[in-house]
Amino acid sequence: MAHRILIQAIPRSMVIAGALVLITALPARTDIYKYIDENGVLHFTNVPTRSGFRLYIHERPSKKLRQRSSNRYDSLIRQAADRYGLSFSLLKALIKVESDFNPRAVSKAGALGLMQIMPENLKEFRIDNPFDPWENIRGGAWYLNQLLDRFEGRLPLALAAYNAGPNLVARYQKSPPIRETQDYVEKVMKYYYVFQD
């Protein structure tokens, strides 16, 4: 079952991610402008209606940015996306940010493979070999699906939970005030936009 992704008025870091979901509905060649209001809420538009809006995304992402992706795992990503009702572009963006398409990646924290699964989660995610691309992608997609269910389709919260853990996100009911997590959500959403082009 496909997830409905919700966007709500929330602080800057979360609005960036939510707004980029909205951007995907716009034509491929559209400039996007941003504005931070007096409450710290970030607004996005393709038609600035007041002064203070600044250019955020110009037309299309650069060729250089698009060329940094790998198509090697696209069929596996598509299978997992279809299985769990996820967007192919979203899943590919997550893999790009997590491991840069390196199936042998191991993080400083010990996360493994394409989707950087922590060793203590392998059994729950039904992964025998975390370096097997299909097992890793399938397990990570299953987990992302679980997070989207838990956070009622709110993509920025699900992504923050993928990075920082669901309990921390549930405690704050927004992206926790951790720069790494906020940057992570923004990067995933940037590539989500890039891979839809």
Count CB atoms within 10 A of the CB of residue 4: 8
Backbone angles phi, psi at 42, to 5 degrees: -95, 130
Say how many C-beta atoms besides its own lie within 10 A of residue 114's C-beta.
29
- Which whole-number Å values give the CA distances from 55 to 31, 35, 51, in the listed order? 7, 9, 12
What is the H or E stretch that residue 134 is in?
A: helix 133-150
What is the DSSP pairing of strand 32-36 with strand 42-45? antiparallel
Residue with tokens 């696209």: 74
CA distance 159 to 192: 12
At a CB cut-off of 8 Å and minimum separation 6, what does 60 contact? 28, 29, 197
Catalytic, 98? Answer yes
Catalytic residue among 98, 120, 135, 152: 98
Q: Which residues share a beta bridge with 33? A: 45, 55
What is the Rg, in whole angstroms, of the alpha carbon atoms belonging to the chain?
A: 17
| Residues that are catalytic | 98
